[in-house]
Structure 1
């Protein structure tokens, strides 16, 4: 009887903490926040509530558009008109690049990688290379706007950057990235085919229109044209009225990850040793740039941006570094993990092959973009 009770208790404990294994970045951030709080008392002022409220509003709105499958309709309509494998791949890759600017790199991949897997199944053509390039395209495309990814949103808010300086800083990198992707697409094998995906019909355009308007209000709040508090209230009330279930469908662990990193970084910023180390090693543009790229490879670019922002006022190399640093290892950008998981679910025996090819493409582009952008930084 006692053994049975113990087994049940163990199962309950495993269920309670299983989510920690699923999101390793959150787990690390939680451990760091708790550990550092034992040394330095945390303060509420460490938390950037503007970033959290905007991110929460974006997540709700994007989840609403995702459930309406608004992007899927247009993607399927375009793909059905293609007559060769290269044009299908090109459209799927470019859709990730351009949509990630507005709906984040995560959502772009969650939307279009499944479409790629369906296309691959229907045409009997392997599309591993397409999915890898979709991932790269989403990570590069999302760097072009403040709302494209979480690290941009944080840096834009933290430093109070204006739109023109922001866009002028990342534009060349994004152009260089899309040119590189175009060259890689042209090198892909090309086969004649006809993809036929079941067309989707939107019976009601009112909801997509309403959520599109709400997204516009949130974007306006990012650019300082509307108060972020107003944008949050509008979003929250809309969710209550239109689809209250959205409140239980978004990724709260991402928000808690931000909170944990805010607390951890706020705590350790009181460390004289770390302050001395950061002051010695983040003293110029070059060190900030390469430190952000290097750190992103091991802890991903979102926490890298939060950590380094505490010790430098030079936002341009940090912004460029964490975005370019999203290339490289599979954990450098959490969006890369999403496409990997989706591919492996459909192709469980090709994990090793995917990692090898992913690493080859990503590290090649990482080296190329890092060096070219570095010379641009030094020139201007």
Structure 2
């Protein structure tokens, strides 16, 4: 190949990469943000992988494989079939899924709860014409609201609980008022968004068979994987699961959302780079967040820019009021999607195009009302 051909193909190569990236708005934003951050406050490129929380990424990869295996087994369609024939309207199904997602998020974390409930919602949608975008939105809000209750519900709670030096029960009691109030608010929103109209089950005509071997192995592996990931052994557990399915049912591994893993890695790099900027630390120091209300407002607002987990870590250096910070970063999980990584997972799992606008039309007003509720309770 001539030197002229090499020079000509380089722009074409980068143009192809950009076309692929631009089809994914979140990925495009993260790439642009990374370039800007590297220009403003450069880090050695080789150091960037050190900013990734690999425990989270490995756990996410394992959950993607296992939930895909359960989906391919046909169990979710079978469960959805049983559900729609016992519950006959959109309104009740939406409330049930919201309650289920919130309950699971208190003990399995908000991310794991999404992997259990969103695929079930998608299976229900394939049986009956449910408004799936609205359903995924309220499920995302529910895992963020339900996970507020316990230290196990989300990473920021676990971090603040470990710093607070209070008992598990005391932490739950302190967060209970906010969790309860937001779940009531979410119940009102869900009732307003869904009709009590009967479901159209005309599409549920075929028999729903379950691959019992695949379903049983996946269910057991799911429980074992979550336990090992909780004990910080996600790497070996993922290796075993990936190798096992590659040898047994390779289509399970090939069909997962690999782009979601890339997006998560970039989010950690971009958000942690932004949180480490001296200007952010100086701005927070000048604000003075010594009072509970100021700590709360700082948590709720900063989460909108750098997500609630990095916000909790940054603000904990300036305030010892763990309760006010927990209130703030919990409310900060609503609003702009970046406020909580669970929002991104929910939208990606839905597989629906054009989700971001309807998501924000609900989540931003919800965040504003939640801000007022949290301010009154803090």
TM-score under structure 2 length normalisation: 0.72
- The secondary structure found in structure 2 opposite 1:283 is coil
1:279 aligns with 2:285: yes
Question: Aligned in 2, Cα 1:136/1:171: closer, same or farther, shift over 3 Å?
Answer: same
- The secondary structure found in structure 1 opposite 2:195 is coil
Answer yes or no: is the 8 Å Cα contact 1:261–1:303 preserved in 2.
yes
Cα deviation code 1:251-304 (max 9, x no counterpart) = 1442343245445544x3xx4x65553223123221121112122334443443
Name 2:66's counterpart in structure 1: 65
Answer yes or no: is the 8 Å Cα contact 2:275–2:310 preserved in 1.
no
Mapped partners of 1:262, 1:58: distance in 2: 19
Name 2:218's counterpart in structure 1: 207
- The secondary structure found in structure 1 opposite 2:94 is helix
How much has 1:78 moved relative to structure 2? Answer: 2.1
Name 2:181's counterpart in structure 1: 176
Is there any run of 5+ residues in structure 2 with no aligned partner, and where? none
1:34 to 31, 38, 41: 38
How much has 1:335 moved relative to structure 2? Answer: 4.1
Name 2:328's counterpart in structure 1: 321
Name 1:111's counterpart in structure 2: 119
Is there any run of 5+ residues in structure 1 with no aligned partner, and where? 222-227
- The secondary structure found in structure 2 opposite 1:243 is helix
Name 1:97's counterpart in structure 2: 102
Answer yes or no: is the 8 Å Cα contact 1:151–1:305 preserved in 2.
yes
RMSD over aligned CA atoms reads 4.2
Answer yes or no: is the 8 Å Cα contact 1:32–1:264 preserved in 2.
no
Question: Aligned in 2, Cα 1:27/1:76: closer, same or farther, shift over 3 Å?
Answer: farther
Aligned length: 352
Name 1:218's counterpart in structure 2: 229
Any residues of structure 2 matched to 1:32-181 within 5 Å, and which?
34-35=38-39, 37-38=41-42, 52-69=53-70, 72=76, 74-101=79-106, 102=108, 104-105=110-111, 107=115, 110-115=118-123, 117-119=125-127, 122-123=128-129, 126=131, 128-146=133-151, 148-149=153-154, 151-152=156-157, 155=160, 163-181=168-186
Question: Aligned in 2, Cα 1:136/1:264: closer, same or farther, shift over 3 Å?
Answer: closer
How much has 1:209 moved relative to structure 2? Answer: 0.7
TM-score under structure 1 length normalisation: 0.72
Mapped partners of 1:238, 1:338: distance in 2: 24
Answer yes or no: is the 8 Å Cα contact 2:62–2:238 preserved in 1.
no
Any residues of structure 2 matched to 1:286-305 within 5 Å, and which?
286-305=293-312
